[in-house]
Structure 1
Amino acid sequence: MENNNHDHDHNHDHDCECGCHEHDTVKLTLEDDSEIECEVIGTFDLNEKNYIALLPVDDEDVLIYNFEDLDGELQLNTIEDEAEFEEVSAAFFELFDGVEEDEDEEYDEEDIEEDEE
């Protein structure tokens, strides 16, 4: 798998009709210049690295990236090492499983995929 760095725009999405939920979203620009909008599920640290979990708006598969803050801009990096990805996925489930239950969404391990785009 090759390293995929993605540029993105950060904005706030207010799709909820009731006005009581606020979701951060990012737009990922992929290598083929296509864009996907993703809801930010959350960020977490593991083994002195930062990770971000994203849920594409029109998909149920969670994307997890390593990220770095470069002068106020996020740089997303694909997790290339399989053992690291498994450890990060387990940490994601421990931290976020059930967080979205209020919105009738729950994430299963098969919903996590390595981004190979």
Structure 2
Amino acid sequence: MENKQLKGEDDIMVTLNLDNGQDVECKILTIFEAGEQDYIALMPLDEKGNENADGEVYIYRYSEDEEGNPSLDNIDSDEEYEIVSDRFDELLDEAEFDAMDD
């Protein structure tokens, strides 16, 4: 799967329903592959719809059903999270490098 988003394309928003009942509006940063699994990186927005000041990012497992409907799942292990966060950091570094070339 190719990496989607991350480079100034149109912003796509999603609403997460958290376990505590709170809804959080998020901007999709990218959908990327790490190992054999796809993941999605989301940036929670503040109440005014602006990116959060501390740069917090949520990362989830990402999949689509036969009809193309998306599904997000939590990352269960520290080992998996480490692999995924390292891959996301690589993507950020690549995006910064590409931005320097523009």
Same fold (TM over 0.5): yes
1:86 partner amino acid: E
Q: Indicate whether 1:65 and 2:60 are aligned.
A: yes
Distance in 2 of aligned mates of 1:21 and 1:68: 21
CA RMSD of aligned residues (A): 2.1
Extract unaligned runs of 5+ from structure 1. 1-19, 101-117
Aligned residue number for residue 30 of structure 2: 42
What one-letter code is carried by the residue in structure 1 that aligns with 2:23? E
CA distance in 2, matches of 1:26, 1:43: 13
Quote the residue 1:4 is aligned against. none
Instruction: State the TM-score, normalizing by the size of structure 1.
Output: 0.62
Query: Which aligned runs of 4 or more in structure 1 are off by greater than 6 angstroms?
Result: none
| CA–CA separation in structure 2 for the residues paired with 1:73 and 1:30 | 19
Aligned-residue sequence identity (percent) comes to 35
Superposed CA offset, 1:53-80 (max 9, x none): 0000123211100011023221111101
| Aligned residue pair count | 82
1:51 corresponds, among 36, 39, 49, to 39
Which of 79, 86, 90 in structure 2 is aligned with 1:90? 86
Give the letter aligned to residue 26 of structure 1.
V
Structure 1 residues 31 and 45: CA distance shift in structure 2, 3 A: same
Q: TM-score, normalised by structure 2?
A: 0.70
Higher strand share: 1
